[in-house]
Structure 1
């Protein structure tokens, strides 16, 4: 009985995968593969990240939850949670220039492994999804903090509250 149900579900999976035209996993896989080489060239060491953040017009985007952002973030960061990404919300935060430099970071850039930056599973680090989403929404000029730093390091300029 169980084996029959599993076979029926497995056979139905391809049809179910295409049932919702608003969800396209094959397109996500293709986007992820196409973004990988670009992301590899856009990883910045901490000092380069700080220098880029100081340039006029650069947006430091924190895609963590609103709650995590309020508990602490890098000075100058703007919060738009990944769960709130839409074409309109991104345009409102980033502005009309799709080539505006956008810098991102996530919990896994910090060694503290405590609130507000508990370490996530490496393969599920927020930077990965954020990078893919930004490029997928048409923002190609994204760079990502590559290093792991202590948020107590004064160079980070961590803001709480």
Structure 2
């Protein structure tokens, strides 16, 4: 009984893989999704990003300067539960040309300072750590550049929320 089932599985599995591959090849390309363009943008920014990491003191001083924007791209709920004082929230999932312009303004050279959950060692709400390759700073940096905002700086290092001017819910 088990041998017959195993033999059928050996025959059916490759057929299913071929059918799935054929269906994927037959799907028309979506002109609104450009994976290759994203990969090229990502690869071109690796070295740039490394030059834009700031220590805590420099980051906080520059983010507080006139004309600078401290941007928190976590969810609205996480932002509301706690964030660095002075931060403005625009969830990453809400990025569009229009929403970015409304928050950042008309000047694409405005200095923008970003941080994410993975800058904090607390690993407690509202800053639960994410997998390192998926830390929100990475796609935020890439997307801001992709939308034409290239004066982006990032909080470097790991610290506790108590090491920055943290505003908790209701504060």
Q: Same fold (TM over 0.5)?
A: yes
Structure 2 vs 1, CA of residues 15 and 140 (structure 1 numbering), >3 Å: closer, same or farther?
A: farther
Aligned residue pair count: 158
* TM-score (structure 2 length as normaliser): 0.89
1:118 alignment counterpart: 128
1:53 alignment counterpart: 63
Gapped regions of structure 1 (runs ≥ 5): none
Partner secondary structure for residue 144 of structure 1: strand
| In structure 2, C-alpha distance between the alignment counterparts of 1:41 and 1:13, rounded to whole Å | 39
- What is the 5 A alignment of 1:16-55? 16=27, 19-55=29-65
Partner secondary structure for residue 161 of structure 2: coil
State the shift of 1:7 in Å.
2.1
2:92 alignment counterpart: 82
State the shift of 1:13 in Å.
3.4
* Structure 1: 4+ residue segments shifted above 6 A: none
Gapped regions of structure 2 (runs ≥ 5): 1-11
Larger radius of gyration: 2
2:167 alignment counterpart: 159
| In structure 1, C-alpha distance between the alignment counterparts of 2:73 and 2:166, rounded to whole Å | 16
Partner secondary structure for residue 152 of structure 1: helix
State the shift of 1:14 in Å.
4.7
| In structure 2, C-alpha distance between the alignment counterparts of 1:107 and 1:126, rounded to whole Å | 7
State the shift of 1:11 in Å.
4.2
1:9 alignment counterpart: 20
| In structure 2, C-alpha distance between the alignment counterparts of 1:81 and 1:108, rounded to whole Å | 16
Partner secondary structure for residue 129 of structure 2: coil
Of the three residues 62, 67, 73, the one matched with 2:72 is 62
Partner secondary structure for residue 162 of structure 2: coil
RMSD, aligned α-carbons: 1.2
| In structure 1, C-alpha distance between the alignment counterparts of 2:24 and 2:33, rounded to whole Å | 14
Contact 2:70 2:112 in 1 (8 A): yes
Structure 2 vs 1, CA of residues 41 and 75 (structure 1 numbering), >3 Å: closer, same or farther?
A: same
- Listed one character per residue, the Cα deviations across residues 14-34 of structure 1 (whole Å, up to 9, x for unaligned) are 553x62111111111011011
